[in-house]
Each structure stands twice: as C-alpha cells, then as structure tokens.
C-alpha cells in the first residue's frame, strides 16, 4: 500500500512525464516545420518514450491500489532558436527530472517503502542514460557547429539515432563513420 504522501509524489512525477512527452512532441513539430526531419523523428520517438514512462507510473500507482490523478499539464513552449537551443533545453529539463526522481527515491527509502524504492530504480538508470545521450548530442553539435552543412549533418545523425539504426555511443566509437 502506498502512503498518501508517496501517492502524491508519484502522481506529480506521472504528470511531469506527461509534460516531458508533450514538450518533446512540440519540439518535434518545431523541427519538422524547420525541415529538420531527422531531428523531428528523434524527438517524436523520445516523446513516445516519455509517454511510456508516464504509463509506468500510472500502472504502478494502480497496482498498489491507489488512484492515478491526471492533472492539468502546462503547455510547452513553441519557439526555439536552433537545434542547439532545443538540446540545451532538453538537457536542462532532464537534469530537473533526475533531481525529482532522486527526491522520490529518498522519500521512499526514508518511509521504508522498498517496493517503490525498487520500482524507481528503473528511472534512476533511465535518467543516467538520457542525460548521457543528450550530452553526447550536445557535444556533437558543439564540435560540428551549425554553420554551412553542420545542421544538415547533425539532422542526418539524429535520423540514424531516431530510427534505432545506431546509438550515439556506437556512432562516436573510434572507427565509426
Ligand atoms: Fe522520463 Fe526523460 O525522463
């Protein structure tokens, strides 16, 4: 059984995951409007992942006999400067999400709610993975730059990550194309 305080914390996170999905979907539409199809695909897939996270919280809360509360989700911003701006904002957002996940982990531990503590470990690992991925993309953007063919090249790379053809880590490995 979940405590009332833990139910609230999990519901808050459920809604943050919903917002993350909407934010990335909005960014995807911005990218598509800019003709950045690879970036759009990558972000749309990422939005789907976030919706998967939302459902994990939704299912867990229900499995524990509590009720998931879908609250009002803030509208994401619609204007972005360029790809670098988009990924900087994603990185900042994911760091915020990591901090929130860690706060819930600490609360679960101090309550002695080991089932929830265990449930949250997936998200601890997932946040580490996401932060690493976004930082790698940002590093690439900084190295390649957004001048001339830079944007085109980055968009092509993102298309490859988005399709699952290659991971960022693989593409950055020595000897990779
Ligand atoms: Fe659901 Fe991007 O963390």
In a domain, 97, yes or no: yes
- Would you say 90 and 24 are in contact if contact means Cβ atoms under 8 Å apart? yes
> Which residue from 160, 175, 170, 168 is spatially nearest to 42, judged by alpha carbons?
160
In a domain, 177, yes or no: no
50 Cβ inside 6 Å of ligand 1? yes
- The DSSP string of 28-86 is HHHHHHTT-HHHHHHHHHHHHHHHHHHHHHHHHHHHTT------PPPPPP---SSHHHH
Mean pLDDT value of segment 27-41: 96
Mean pLDDT, residues 35-50: 96
Tell me if 175 is assigned to some domain: no
86 close to ligand 1 (CB < 6 Angstrom): no
Q: Does some domain include residue 176? A: no
pLDDT digits (tens, 9 = 90+) for 94-147: 999 999 999 999 999 999 999 999 999 999 999 999 999 999 999 999 999 988
- Asked if residues 89 and 80 have their Cβ atoms less than 8 Å apart, the reply is yes
Residue 87 contacts by C-beta under 8 Å, 6 or more apart in sequence? 134, 137, 138, 141
Domains held by the chain: number: 1
Q: What is the model's pLDDT at position 174?
A: 45
**CATH code: domain of residue 134:** 1.20.1260.10
Q: What is the pLDDT of residues 156-168, one digit of tens each?
A: 989 887 666 666 5
In a domain, 108, yes or no: yes
For residue 134, the enclosing domain spans 4-170
Q: Closest ligand 1 atom, CA of 46?
A: 2
Centre of ligand 1 from the C-alpha of residue 94, in Å = 6
Q: Is 113 in the pocket of ligand 1 (CB under 6 A)?
A: no
Ligand 1 pocket member 134 (CB < 6 A): no
């Amino acid at each position: 059984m979940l405590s009332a305080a833990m139910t609230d914390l999990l519901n808050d996170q459920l809604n943050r995951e919903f917002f993350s999905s909407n934010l990335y979907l909005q960014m995807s539409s911005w990218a598509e409007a800019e003709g950045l199809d690879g970036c759009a695909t990558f972000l749309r897939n990422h939005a789907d992942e976030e919706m998967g996270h939302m459902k994990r919280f939704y299912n867990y809360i229900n499995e524990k006999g509590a009720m998931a509360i879908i609250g009002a989700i803030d509208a994401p911003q619609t204007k972005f400067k360029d790809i670098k701006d988009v990924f900087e904002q994603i990185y900042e957002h994911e760091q915020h999400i990591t901090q929130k996940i860690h706060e819930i982990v600490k609360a679960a531990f101090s309550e002695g709610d080991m089932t929830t503590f265990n449930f949250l470990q997936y998200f601890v690992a997932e946040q580490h993975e996401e932060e690493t991925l976004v930082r790698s993309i940002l590093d690439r953007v900084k190295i390649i730059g957004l001048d001339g063919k830079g944007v085109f090249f980055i968009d092509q790379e993102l298309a490859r990550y988005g399709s699952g053809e290659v991971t960022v880590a693989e593409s950055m490995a020595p000897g990779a194309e």
